[in-house]
Chain A
């Protein structure tokens, strides 16, 4: 049993998909949660209520677009005001907008880079400051197999997720002396709303490229996040862990 009691964890984009699974998994081990959802409202309120009710841990919701620095600042403010500490920060929020190179709207470039890249940078800044005060912590960034190996139709998404790897490696070096570990998880083909947008032929094609012959689940990714959140990874930093069932892109 991994015990995260007394630990305070942030999960951005935590109302559904992989973020929700990570939030549930950390809460299941006793972590106090700050849950971010982009739009707030009923979806965030419901997620907060359900996770708190299921796992009997304090859960605080913070609504806001993670691509804006104010959102990370507000998350840090909430962590400081309510709990005076922060132990785990999961930069999970992300968007996926596929387009072939000649057909990428500038808006989708901006939105993808804002959320997938700037969000990680602002989150890392906010997390590092609070963790430093508490003597250390763990920052977990969600990248993607596409950020490591690329894929057609995913120029912007691939670039954004490769940037997350660069940010992870640099932050790990800068923050190691302060006992803050920074690692990334690179999921492969995971069963979320985002991949359900794929046309059936693409879906089957990707499934066929997985050595383990099954699509991953958000819980598969969440268990990797739990490893990084816990002391099981106490001497691990600057790593990118593939959670992809042996997928080839």
Chain B
């Protein structure tokens, strides 16, 4: 999960952490968000529902959402 965030948003190790929040990190804007969704879907071989895409407002939320698809 962290790998997708780091690669997609081009984050430095110092920038990455559990506290990442949408629109508060450079690159995690609406375009970055869609790239992130594509990256997560690719990595975890799933397809996120629209409600989950809209709800994915932080790294922790993303972890919670993607975990649900693996169950």
Interface magnitude class on chain B: under 10
Question: Which of A73-81, A96-104, A146-154 is the interface stretch?
Answer: A73-81
A1 vs B14: C-alpha distance when bound (angstroms): 53
Q: How does the 8 Å CB contact mask read for B25-53 relative to A, with 1 for contact and 0 for none?
A: 00000000011011001100001011000
Write the nearest CB–CB distance from A137 to chain B, whole angstroms. 13
What is the interface of chain A mostly: helix, strand, loop, or mixed? helix
Write the nearest CB–CB distance from B32 to chain A, whole angstroms. 12
Partner pick for B37 among A73, A76, A77, A129, CB 8 A cutoff: A129
Q: How many A-B residue pairs have CB under 8 A?
A: 20
Interface membership of A209, Cβ < 8 A = no
Interface membership of A133, Cβ < 8 A = yes
Q: Is the CB of A80 within 8 A of B47?
A: yes
Write the nearest CB–CB distance from B30 to chain A, whole angstroms. 9
Q: Is the CB of A129 within 8 A of B49?
A: no
Interface membership of A245, Cβ < 8 A = no
Q: Is the CB of A77 within 8 A of B50?
A: no
12 A-B pairs (CB sep. < 8 Å)? A69-B50, A73-B49, A73-B50, A77-B47, A125-B50, A128-B34, A130-B47, A132-B34, A132-B35, A132-B38, A133-B41, A133-B42
